[in-house]
Structure 1
């Protein structure tokens, strides 16, 4: 049962924290899997990234700020590309979209998924070859489809009959035959938050397999004079930690794939299994290495194709947050610290920082869990159960619901929250007219801004009165 953050906080110290959150032996210690590879704590207790102390980053770029370890991100891209060597790995622009990040992903061998004209524009401005782009979305406008066809994106993932009709008309007019994949709703529900589980029956994406819509949609594309049926696509959810759900989804996709090949005599080339693989936000998360995921998925598809009597098609996957999420942390400055005493003598520190739900809405929106650490010094104080909250006029403005921080955390301290690369900046807002933070990339001992900090002047420029 979900309990609102302002209520039912009763009992002793242990009752206030989740069962997975243990009291740390050393409140200064970092759990490596939560952080980018270039993040470490120096002897003086100050957090460093790529050799640079966060105090220097805060002084030069201000707080709050998203800090990207570019070497870590590139290494993650390479590890996924190498694990699926010969097949395609797509970076999801929706997770984090900027020219520098999309360019880095492409340089490390990845393809890029976009789902709006804005994301497509950034990808093209970054110099990504259109053939390396896929265009997603459940409600692509005619203008977006026209641009995707005109620039010859590598694939367009069809999500409705209306979209197929629009594509046919646009392709016929342009004299271009785009590669189209059909998104199949395979009826497999991943064990994740309901808002990011995307292949159960009652939701907006894809064509249902169970009622025959997926077959009919693929048949229409496959028999069209103006569209090329490139393959089938599925996506079962996000923040997935094993491949068991893919056993069912891949089997259903392969069966449909084999039927279409036989009936349409169509040389479909690709099977996209989606992805949404998990990353570690807290100590309770333990994601699989890319090589293990690749080996498992390939084995599943090979066995299913052998049973169906067809050759194994080219595979593609979309790791999602697993690529960019762990490569970024958010750096905040503490503004106030308020100990709140509850019944039975239990208490919690409310640590307010200079950001909040405008730079990370996932805690409020998805009930997501994050970790945090004191970043500007070491502490010998005992661990205290804390809640990191934002500056917005909202009771639900929580960044980290439960964490142990040093009991002497004080105004002026810097805090770092790991795992904020995916969906934090991209879902950011100007709630309470707070400008969005910059993104600072660190590589080879140097830091540079890749997305500038918004200013109040930026907000006023759009307010035409």
Structure 2
């Protein structure tokens, strides 16, 4: 049984996280409940920063907050002197609500709206990562009309085919993201921005995908971008002060996953950057990275309470829990795998082969197929590990299920940071038909 971060088992045989008994958490806050081990988040962030420091490279480690966005997690990122990667006006608004330092906010997205770009100018954020030619024209219009400056990075596709699921591969040529390096789009985009009076090109950005284990893809991406930087110096007398190599570092969801320590991927990138700057006598750029999943993924654990059990003779045993694809769509969306334990009976033999089913009205609502738990009993507490990334962020109200509460645990203390939705929350945007009719009459 593999435990993560500060997880342990107490003398009651209960799983603990951050020194807090998960049974107590379930009793206090209810289930489903998403619990974050904040000490693990801090440890990972500090490891990334220390890796750059040891290499003598000036860097920004930006939390890719699409993995999990909330005021509280932004506040922790601020405490750690991280930068922040946002991809929408909503994430930017959350960052503003958390009073995150604007100069350390980077705005991504393949289809930013005009109003979102205006909002970025309003807040005087640190950088906009430009993704398409329409965005370039809009940035010119906004900056010129306001006579306000903005830093920009060009997102490029380096042609890397990383070994991951197609849904989360982004660095190949056939991608909705960025300017292609091979067909000249990146050069065209650069020339449209170069020497603009209000838009300052900092350099290039790439992101090759997510949940990547091998280092070769990261090395290749760094090499390709460094080669283009050298070419731009020769062609345009331009030296990129920033090289953003994105994120995508894999984590361990199951025993089959064999990730390296997150810092190991950074070391591979650093080696490429250092060797190529020496080879080409190129000024060492500031390196930016964007870890998301590798900061919060295995820091998160979801707690569920079991309900019904169904035995299908000769096939399987279904154990139903009080959540499912509404709070974790990843298994249904692209077959994501997880590990689970009976959190209230950790010392009991986990020898019963079961399938953990959600409560949504979909046959595909299965959180884990064929896992081993203690003999199922109604009311058991089930913990599913490594649910910190892309679960709550992708949660829905399908079947009008309320989204779960979120708790941070650290040093034996726990704090509610996102309250559980109520039935009242589910209808707060609904407008009764009679009200529509009366407004139409007016």
TM-score range, shorter chain: over 0.9
Tell me, what secondary structure is at the counterpart of 1:84? helix
- 1:117–1:380 CA distance, 2 compared to 1 (3 A): closer
Q: Which residue of 1 aligns with 2:412?
A: 445
Question: Structure 1, residues 174-206: CA drift from partner, whole Å, max 9, x if none?
Answer: 111211100011111110000100011222000
In 2, the alpha carbon distance for the partners of 1:419 and 1:204 equals 28
Corresponding residue for 2:438? none
- Structure 2 match to 1:82: 50
Residue 84 of structure 2 corresponds to residue 112 of structure 1:
yes
Pairing of 1:323-402 with structure 2 (within 5 A): 323-342=295-314, 347-378=315-346, 380-381=348-349, 383-402=351-370
Alpha-carbon separation, structure 2, partners of 1:285 and 1:110: 27
* Aligned CA distance change for structure 1 residues 380 and 158 (closer, same or farther; 3 Å): closer
Q: Which whole-Å deviations, capped at 9, do the CAs of 1:103-138 have from their partners, x for residues lacking one? A: 101211211000111100111111111100000000
- Alignment match, 1:457: 424
Structure 1 residue 50 displacement after superposition: 2.0
CA offsets per residue over residues 359-395 of structure 1, 9 Å max, x none?
0000011110001000012454561221111000000
Q: Note the C-alpha offset of 1:312.
A: 2.2
Deviates more, 1:232-241 or 1:105-114: 105-114
Q: Distance in 2 between matches of 1:146 and 1:423?
A: 27
Superposition TM-score, scaled by structure 1 size? 0.89
Q: Deviations over 1:47-94 (max 9, x none)?
A: 112222111111110000001112221222112222223311110110
Cα distance change on mapping 1:378 and 1:94 into 2, 3 Å: closer
RMSD (Å), alpha carbons: 1.4
CA distance in 2, matches of 1:144, 1:388: 40
Deviations 1:296-315 (A, max 9, x none): 21111222333334122111
Q: How far did residue 218 of structure 1 move? A: 1.4
Give the aligned partner of residue 49 of structure 1. Answer: 17
Contact 1:187/1:199 (<8 A) preserved:
yes
- The match for 2:223 among 219, 237, 251 is 251
2:8 equivalent to 1:40: yes
CA contact under 8 A between 2:19 and 2:410: conserved in structure 1? no
Residues matched between the structures, number: 428
Partner of 1:287: 259
Alpha-carbon deviations, 1:6-33, whole Å to 9, x = none? xxxxxxxxxxxxxxxxxxxxxxxx303x
User: CA offset at residue 268 of structure 1?
Assistant: 2.3
Q: Secondary structure at the match of 2:297?
A: helix
Q: TM-score, normalised by structure 2?
A: 0.94
- When structure 1 is superposed on structure 2, of 260-269 and 440-449 the one drifting more is 260-269
Alpha-carbon deviation of 1:234? Answer: 0.5
> For 1:84 and 1:400, how far apart are their aligned partners in 2?
37
Using the alignment, how far apart are the partners of 1:452 and 1:158 within structure 2? 35
- Residue 405 of structure 2 contacts residue 420 of structure 2 at CA under 8 Å; is this kept in 1? yes
Which of residues 243, 261, 265 in structure 1 aligns to 2:233? 261
> 1:450: how far off?
0.3
Task: Give the whole-Å Cα distance in 2 for the aligned partners of 1:177 and 1:380.
Answer: 62
Cα distance in 1 between the residues matched to 2:261 and 2:349: 36
Secondary structure at the aligned position of 2:316 is classed as strand
1:171 aligned partner: 143
SS for the counterpart of 2:246 is strand
2:2 matches 1:31? yes
Whole-angstrom CA distance in 2 between matches of 1:312 and 1:431: 49
Q: Find the aligned partners of 2:231 and 2:18 in 1 and give their Cα distance.
A: 52
Contact 2:219–2:268 (8 Å) recurs in 1? no
Question: Structure 1 residue 239: deviation in Å?
Answer: 0.4
Q: Does 1:436 align with 2:408?
A: no
Does structure 1 conserve the Cα–Cα contact (< 8 Å) formed by 2:357 and 2:368? yes
Aligned to 1:219: 191
How far apart in 1 are the matches of 2:353 and 2:345? Answer: 18
Counterpart-to-counterpart distance in 1, 2:365 and 2:64 = 27
